[in-house]
């Protein structure tokens, strides 16, 4: 059996440890004798990276991680699958651009029992947003828009939007909605549920704009953070400023340069067998499969907010471009200054981030990322400047530029990102475990 097969259901870090632990006793004795014979023996170099699904996986100890610490987190994740809390999970960690653990547990489908693998395809939902943010910032670099521009400069339909008032009426915008506000969910639009009755995705992005133009804003621009249609509005602007459809722009300007061959708004027929099913909890707490939801052709509504399929390895390439301050494997998508700007908080003072309630102290918001502004107030171990997001079905990632660390985990539970709907807190589990496992950050 090859390592590629072993990685399904097994931690690669564990494989490395197992291979050394199972060395013949004679080899162990010889090593101990050699150490006793001389004190001038040079230090043993780190093991050569091993290839898993075409990706080199390095020794965790070589970049400061405790192998045992990573194994402990993987055992916790495996237990979630064995206990029926998750059907399948793929997760990885990298540091200094080196993947040090790549793990898969569970199945794509309870019916087929096909195992989850590192190249399995997941619906990443709102993890589409940072990709749309990169597209927007590519156009920003080209001088196509500015942060303090009014959104109505690019969407004239929004020039005279009204704002709801407490007495049930409306009033004019106190100041024009800006592009910076649009990039940070503070433009005045309501949360997504506000628009359930009007079906913003009924046709295409232009149809969404036409509907929003007829509706009042929920709040004055800049005064509140509300998680709604802002990034789909960004997607519309990408199309308008680039002259390309969103899928064409993503493919030509982002996916192809980064080698994200399995990422897109639809999955061709020859890859459908790699797509995971969606799972949800039954009334008795057990996990069941939801009806099949295939997307095997280009959708009419290209959601820059949540429409993409991807793999953990494809998304890792995207994070490496960000961690590389705009460049990855010789391809530069953004200038380093632009990436730094993306992860700066742009919310006005006193405007809190509030995803599921209550407010999230210590957290700000940049250009389509949440950003850790105050480590103590946030109440976790992530360094100041770390940025992250997740998706409706429970996919998640974070990037820590201080410790040069990336974490990615893909699951596929309905409402899997909501901490009040039963899905285990996969990302939060990793925050505590990984910073504890990083025993030598100097490496």
Q: What would the pLDDT profile of 250-300 be if each residue is shown by its tens digit?
A: 999 999 999 999 999 999 999 999 999 999 999 999 999 999 888 888 999
CA 159 to chain centre: 33
Please answer whether residues 172 and 166 qualify as being in contact, where contact means their C-beta atoms are separated by less than 8 angstroms.
no
Q: What is the pLDDT of residues 125-141, one digit of tens each?
A: 999 999 999 999 999 99
Q: How far apart are CA 86 and CA 78, in angstroms?
A: 9
pLDDT for residue 55 = 75
- Domains, the chain, in order of start with CATH, read 3-133+244-437 (3.40.710.10), 134-242 (3.40.710.10)
* Alpha-carbon gap, residue 77 to 89, rounded angstroms: 8
Q: What is the DSSP letter of 19?
A: H
Determine contact, residues 396/359, Cβ cutoff 8 Å: no
Residues 306-332 pLDDT 10s: 999 999 999 999 999 999 999 999 999
| DSSP-assigned states of every residue in 207-270 | HHHHHHTTS-BSS-TTS----SSHHHHHHHHHHHHHSS-HHHHIIIIIIHHHT-TT-BSS--GG
Give 394's contacts (C-beta < 8 A, 6+ positions apart): 410, 411, 412, 413, 416, 417, 423, 426
CA–CA dist 230, 197 (Å, integer): 17
- The whole-angstrom separation of Cα 162 and Cα 375 is 38
User: For residues 234 and 138, what is the distance between their CA atoms, to the nearest angstrom?
Assistant: 12
């Amino acid at each position: 059996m090859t390592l590629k097969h072993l990685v399904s259901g097994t931690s690669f870090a564990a494989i490395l440890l197992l291979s050394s632990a199972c060395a013949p006793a004679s080899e162990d004795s010889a090593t101990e004798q050699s150490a006793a014979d001389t004190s001038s023996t040079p230090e043993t170099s780190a093991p050569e990276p091993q290839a898993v699904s075409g990706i080199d996986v390095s020794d965790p100890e070589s970049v400061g991680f405790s192998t045992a610490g990573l194994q402990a987190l993987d055992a916790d994740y495996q237990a979630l699958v064995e206990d029926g809390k998750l059907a399948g999970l793929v997760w990885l960690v990298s540091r200094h651009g080196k993947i040090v653990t790549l793990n898969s547990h569970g199945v794509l489908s309870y019916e087929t029992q096909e195992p989850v693998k590192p190249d399995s395809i997941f619906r990443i939902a709102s993890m589409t947003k940072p990709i749309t943010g990169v597209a927007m910032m590519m156009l920003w670099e080209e001088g196509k828009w500015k942060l303090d521009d009014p959104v109505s400069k690019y969407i004239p339909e929004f020039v005279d939007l009204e704002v709801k008032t407490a007495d049930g009426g409306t009033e004019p915008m106190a100041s024009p909605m800006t592009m910076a506000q649009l990039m940070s969910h503070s433009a005045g639009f309501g949360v997504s549920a506000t628009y359930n009755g009007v079906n913003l995705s009924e046709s295409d992005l232009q149809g969404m704009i036409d509907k929003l133009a007829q509706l009042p804003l929920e709040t004055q621009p800049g005064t509140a953070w509300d998680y709604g249609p802002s990034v789909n509005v960004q997607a519309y602007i990408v199309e308008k400023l680039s002259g390309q459809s969103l899928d064409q722009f993503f493919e030509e300007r982002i996916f192809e340069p980064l080698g994200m061959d399995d990422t897109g708004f639809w999955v061709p027929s020859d890859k459908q067998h790699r797509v995971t099913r969606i799972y949800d909890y039954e009334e008795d707490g057990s996990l069941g499969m939801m009806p099949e939801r295939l997307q095997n052709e280009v959708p009419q509504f290209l959601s820059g907010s949540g429409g993409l399929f991807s793999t953990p390895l494809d998304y890792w390439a995207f994070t490496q471009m960000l961690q590389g301050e705009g460049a990855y494997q010789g391809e530069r998508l953004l200038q380093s200054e632009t990436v730094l700007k993306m992860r700066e908080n742009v919310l006005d003072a006193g405007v809190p981030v509030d995803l599921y309630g209550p407010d999230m102290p210590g957290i700000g918001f940049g250009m389509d990322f949440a950003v850790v502004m105050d480590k103590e107030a946030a109440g976790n171990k992530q360094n100041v400047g770390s940025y992250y997001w997740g998706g409706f079905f429970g996919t998640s990632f974070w990037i820590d530029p201080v410790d040069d660390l990336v974490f990615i985990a893909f699951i596929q539970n309905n409402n899997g990102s909501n901490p009040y709907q039963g899905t285990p807190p996969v990302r939060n589990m990793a925050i505590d475990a990984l910073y504890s496992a990083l025993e030598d950050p100097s490496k």
